[in-house]
A and B are shown apart, each in its own frame.
Chain A
Amino acid sequence: MDNRPHTGITEELTTIAPLLARIPYRQPVSAPEGYFALFTSRMATRVAVVDRQMLPEAALQTLHQRLVAEVPAGYFDAFTRRMLSEVAAPQRTEIFPAWLRNIDEKLQAGLALIFRPRLVWAYSLASTLVLVGLLWFASPDGAACPQGDLLCQLQQIDEREIDLYMRNHADEFSEDAAGSAYNVDDLPAALTAGDIWLNDFTDEELEYLSE
């Protein structure tokens, strides 16, 4: 028996393929039992069918028996509401021109490339080294003078500090005060002798006398 949807096809086959024309028409595949009722309910749910009353009875039964057991209760309704609220949200208005957005995107990409999380330790170490180096070179002479090295300490005194000190202690630097500041008895013995040769003085002694 030919239950083919279009009977003219059998007549056509008879002329070009007689054996094929004699083979009874039958779908070569079949769907699992209840598939179509389930499919209707699944698709209806996916496209936000809230009113279940409109579903065919068979689809409702299958939905109740199978779908409810497969997903959390109310999942699809919540999902539908969430999706509807998302699509209903107003679109963001673009206020910047396209070329500016391109530059911004490239900048953001560049920064993201440089400040990758895996390089954070390397950047931290490098930053620390740079900071220590800056502090090192920022000190006046590179390092503190050894204890007891007066000459070194004197060299580190700024001229402005000396000038300020002298202004604040002007009375100590008057000629009288200067003259009374040194006791002749405290001078080296060579100065009291008749024949004094400069060569006999050490550099420190000469510097002391010149002051």
Chain B
Amino acid sequence: MTALRRYLEENLALILRGHALRVSGIPLPAGTTAEAYESCLMALRPRDRWPENTRVYAALRSSLAENPLAALTALGVAAATGLYLGLGRAAVSWLGALLGGPV
């Protein structure tokens, strides 16, 4: 095993460095930078499907990226408030019971 290890070590360096030397200086294929830029523009393009094209979605996505916990907490509070205002106290109680809180 020691002999194998030694020979493998010697040959690995030879193989890997030989390859690296052979390919150093090979230029970037023509058009690669332009293609990459086009791909970037596609990725940056605002989506035109609902709800991804809404400002609320963009704001939420940005908030989630910066501070996920705060964003999710705010979303939870907003959802609970909307539920209360829309469906009344009974709906909030029902939700509380569902989540394991006091009825």
The answer to whether A and B belong to the same complex is: no
